[in-house]
Amino acid sequence: MTEPAAEAVVDPGIDEKIKKLTPERIESTINKVLTKGAAARLKVYLQTCVHCGLCADACHFYLSNDKDPKFSPVGKVKQTLWEIIRKKGKVDGGFIKDCSRIAHTECNVCRRCSMYCPFGIDIAYLLLLVRRMCALLGVVPQYLQDTVNSHAVTMNQMWVKQDEWIDSLQWQEEDAQDEVKNARIPLDKEGAEIMYSVIGPEPKFLAQLLGNIAMIMAVAGMDWTMPSFDGWDNSNMPMYSGDFETMARVERKHHEAALKLKVKRIVMGECGHAFRGAVYDGPKWLAWKEPPVPIIHAVQFYYELIKSGRIKIAKKFKEPVTVQEPCNIVRGRGLGDMLRYIMRATCEDFRDVYPRYEHNYCCGAGGGVINCGPQWKKSRVKGNRVKAEQLKATGAKFVVTPCHNCHSGIEDIVEHYNLGMHTKFFSEILIDVMEIPEDLKVE
């Protein structure tokens, strides 16, 4: 094992938990994951990798840490999985600690590297396997584990109780009515066309976004609803900690809420990882080839509303603005063009980024990394200097981030590198620029 790349961070979720591990437990857990939890992909990927290092340039952690090979995708696999396999699971607690640091906090599982590997090896998958081993050993950064515990107990990420949830919705409904007459957040409306779902942090500390969607839905005249019961939260942190059993429970609950409400489709708020969980990673674990209810991301939804003319733009946003393309909806779902369409439709001075589309850099926060907590913030922000340089080059004053993780991650980067920019969700732009029909205007 090489020296830890980042300076030592105290994290009770890791430091205290490794004290409880026995060599037997480590070995049997690891071997269970290697033999029962993985099969063809693990074996073939390990046999195919020729250690060429061509994936290195894909990783923002590697590029931002002055090309330190410990941060290259294959370098991370070497320090974790290769070593585990070479030692047949006979590793100690200190090694597991390093594994958790590398897999949970120094890789966003953004999958950019699999586009740089000549063989198309899914390196993020290999690091997710390492996370799985750590999670089964109970070694997960404390903040991340807390969100997982919340998911397991309450089916939402932020320990939000049902009365608080309903209360937040009603409060935001009232606030929205100050801007748009008749704006409503219909709860449990069976047979509505759309179920709108959000992530736990929205009612917890970004409640205005709930008000925004109420206004947008009212202006567009959509038939929609939100569940008052569990299943309203579409986020999924256990997917990133490695607790796939809880991940599956959360996804199942989310889809069941939609089935119970008999909606035609689910529209998700501006979040990338939630989309990944609901559309492909979750269904895959549940052995569903496709989600049972069609799901679209907010970007697709806004594209529909603007393109079809259901929402008209009154005055475009004037300031120079650029965009952060969330990996899970652009590299993960090809929404890059729709995102540019809605940006151009609403903003006068849209500055594109480079590299872009599938090749855009991750925000550094996704993949559960920001959820590992404030003690890991320093290494996370340091590990994404390239993003700061990329944003700076656009000369924009605002960054639209149609994803919660991107939003918080980019905010941290903007602050640390003094970029003098502001982050905005797309809905914040949209409510500013959309035309409110006469009959919905508040006198």
Partner 1 sequence: MYEFVSGPLVWISFIVFIGGSIYRLVSMFKLADKEKVIFPYMSLKYSLRSLIHWIIPFASTNMRRRPFMTIITFAFHICLVLTPIFLLSHNLLWYQSWKISWWTMPERTADIMTIIVIFTAIFFLIRRLVLPEVRFVTFLSDYALLTVAVAPFITGFLAYHQWLPYKTMLILHIISGEIMLIAIPFTRLSHMLYFVFTRAYMGSEFGAVRNSKDW
Q: Report the interface residues with partner 1, using CB under 8 A.
A: 38-41, 43-45, 47-54, 56-58, 62, 67, 69-70, 72, 74-75, 78, 114-116, 118-122, 280, 284, 287, 289, 330-334, 336, 357-359
**Cβ-based nearer residue to partner 1, 116 or 229:** 116
**Cβ-based nearer residue to partner 1, 17 or 252:** 252
Which residues fall within 8 angstroms of residue 233, CB to CB, at 6 or more apart?
151, 155, 156, 157, 160, 197, 198, 199, 200, 250, 254
**Cβ-based nearer residue to partner 1, 319 or 337:** 337
**Cβ-based nearer residue to partner 1, 80 or 157:** 80
**Cβ-based nearer residue to partner 1, 269 or 283:** 283
Q: How many helices and strands in the chain, by DSSP H and E?
A: 23, 8
Which residues fall within 8 angstroms of residue 65, CB to CB, at 6 or more apart?
5, 71, 382, 383
Neighbours of 406 (CB within 10 A): 32
Shortest Å distance, C-beta 61 to partner 1: 12
Spatial distance between the Cα atoms of 149 and 164, rounded to a whole number of angstroms: 19
Shortest Å distance, C-beta 27 to partner 1: 22
Which residues fall within 8 angstroms of residue 415, CB to CB, at 6 or more apart?
none
**Cβ-based nearer residue to partner 1, 47 or 418:** 47
Shortest Å distance, C-beta 307 to partner 1: 18
Shortest Å distance, C-beta 56 to partner 1: 4
Shortest Å distance, C-beta 190 to partner 1: 31
Shortest Å distance, C-beta 91 to partner 1: 18
CA nearest to 13, candidates 111, 129, 134: 134
**Cβ-based nearer residue to partner 1, 87 or 315:** 87
What are the CA-CA distances from residue 346 to residues 9, 169, 307 (Å)?
A: 43, 27, 11
Backbone angles phi, psi at 392, to 5 degrees: -60, -40
Cis peptide before 294 (omega within 30 of 0): no
DSSP secondary structure, 410-440, as one string: HHHHHHHTT---EEE-HHHHHHHHBPPPGGG
HSE-up of residue 307 (Cα within 13 Å, Cβ side): 12
Shortest Å distance, C-beta 43 to partner 1: 6
